[in-house]
Amino acid sequence: MTTELTQHSAPQIDQMVTAKQLQRAVADLQTTRPGPGLLKVSICTVLFLAGVYVAMTASSVAVFTTAAVFSGLVASVMIITTHDAIHHTLTGLVWFDELFPRLMSWPILWMHSIYSEVHKVHHKMNGDDIADPERVQWTREEYAQASALTRFYVRHQWFFDIFVFCGFGLIGETFRNGLRYARVSKSMRRAVMTDIAGLLVVNGLIYSVAIAHGNGLRWLAFWLVMERCTGAIMQWRAHVEHYGLWGKGRHYFETQSYTCRNIQTNGFASWFFNRLNFHSVHHAFPRVPFYLLETAHKRFLELYAKAGGEPLVEERGYVLTSLKLARQPTVIGSPDPLSASHRRSMVTLAELDRVLA
């Protein structure tokens, strides 16, 4: 018998937090002021350009590598801020939230226009539709039908995605999704063409200048170091936020609240991830700006505590949560009969492998 892992009690139906209650809780938190986003973007841009300058003028491998790693970490923060720009909650200035992410992303070969369209689909499908293009976890049926090599990958998914595939994996998957949705979506076709044109023009200019100054290979090496750092962090964040959580709730906001993981962490880590450690409220109400997510999260906690039903998923620390989930890999199973919000049970691969043997 396959073991279905659950962490839920058996709340009653009348303990549900309604959609209207959640909407009222954050109704006054959905206006974005430009200041916080512009300040963060300005700080990160200065730090990133400083890292680029040091790397391009470094006289030793150690200094070059240090500067490249530093730039990769700063680029991670900047890419996370571009996620908020998708929802126009970075600055609230639509023109800036549309322009800045592209100008920032194209030099590092990230396709913001495509990702923007894909991410909007993710917000609609998360926890509800297996076709979600950003779903990080396999289902029990998919695993059972997979080849031996694919099953090996799924068992070690955290390692491969974070430390092997990194940025290349994200770039390839995003472009593949772009081509897939471009067949049926005019906006996606426009996004694909915009990103291809932007990538060619911007990188053509960068490499022309770099080669003219004898730094063509240096810039390529710089980009490769950034790809490892930034790609690993973005893969890590995606897994922590959603791995082990799935299931359509009784209304849209409940689905989003329960299929996202909230991380209790220190102030710097929360700043680094642009407050997306408060992930439930972001998914339920993406119009809440990043600097108000903690306030909105506290209001969510109060509502769910008062209802006395299933609590929101909260874990302590990104690293500790990652280790716990990676050490006991799971796949999405059947609906949990003990969950009033219809969460899916998680099937441990160790037990499933014995069943399938």
pLDDT tens sequence across 320-331: 999 999 999 999
Of 249, 248, 241, the residue nearest 279 (C-alpha): 241
Q: Enumerate the domain spans of the chain.
A: 4-356
Provide the pLDDT for residue 50. 98
| Pick from 13-27, 119-133, 220-234, 296-310: least confident | 13-27
Q: What pLDDT does 16 receive?
A: 86
Render pLDDT for 142-198 as a digit per residue (tens, 0 to 9): 999 999 999 999 999 999 999 999 999 999 999 999 999 999 999 999 999 999 999
Q: Is the pLDDT of residue 45 over 60?
A: yes
pTM over 0.75: yes
Short-list 49, 230, 199, CA closest to 113: 199
Amino acid 275: pLDDT = 97
Q: Write out the E strands in the chain.
A: 4-5, 262-264, 314-316, 330-335, 344-348
pLDDT, greater one: 310 or 155: 155
Query: What is the mean pLDDT of the segment spanning 17-27?
Result: 95
The count of residues in the chain is: 357
Cβ 249 vs Cβ 18: under 8 Å: no
Contact 53, 66 (CB under 8 A): no
229-254 per-position pLDDT tens digit: 999 999 999 999 999 999 999 999 99
Residue 227's Cβ-count burial label (10 Å; 0-12, 13-18, 19+) is: buried
Distance CA 310, CA 56 (A): 53
Inter-CA distances, 155 with 304, 323, 335, Å? 34, 14, 22
Closest CA to 343 of 3, 2, 1, 10: 10
